[in-house]
Amino acid sequence: MTTHDRRYVIIGNGIAGTTAADTLRKNDPNCSIHLLTNEPYPLYNRVSLPRFLQGVIVEQKVMIRDFAWHEQRNITLVTETMVTDVNTDERVVVTDDDHVRLWPMEEVLFRTNCVMGLRYVSSIRPG
């Protein structure tokens, strides 16, 4: 397998996941990168949320990335998609929204804020 075949699936598009995607792309212009998130937004600044909710700052000040940023880097951002399983034997990440989808991958990166996010992933089978 060449590096051109590499398929990465990153779970979570917070600062960790988005930075991981950016770093992968910088190091390999040809790999495929799917960045999966259950949220509807590209990366936003969590720290700014209280001031945004209080009406002190506008939404544009909270958003760090937009959809175009991902497109320009050939990073496929898949929003509103909950990861429910990771099968490292079969090398697929499973999402379950309207219907179950399988995301083939060679590498999976968990980029969710500690166990809070991972509670949705029902089983992790070591490969």
Ligand X SMILES: Cc1cc2nc3c(=O)[nH]c(=O)nc-3n(C[C@H](O)[C@H](O)[C@H](O)COP(=O)(O)OP(=O)(O)OC[C@H]3O[C@@H](n4cnc5c(N)ncnc54)[C@H](O)[C@@H]3O)c2cc1C
Q: Which residues bind ligand X (CB under 6 A)?
A: 11-17, 36-39, 46-47, 49-50, 82-83, 111-113, 117, 120-121
32 vs 95 by CB, closer to ligand X: 95
Coil, helix or strand for 65? coil
114: amino acid identity, one letter: C
For residues 59 and 87, what is the distance between their CA atoms, to the nearest angstrom?
37
Smallest distance from the beta carbon of 117 to ligand X, in angstroms? 3
Smallest distance from the beta carbon of 4 to ligand X, in angstroms? 27
3 vs 49 by CB, closer to ligand X: 49
> Which contacts qualify for 100-104: CB closer than 8 Å, 24 or more apart?
103/9, 103/34, 103/36, 104/7
Smallest distance from the beta carbon of 3 to ligand X, in angstroms? 25
14 vs 101 by CB, closer to ligand X: 14
71 vs 97 by CB, closer to ligand X: 97
Residue in 59, 69, 90, 57 with CA at minimum distance from that of residue 22: 69
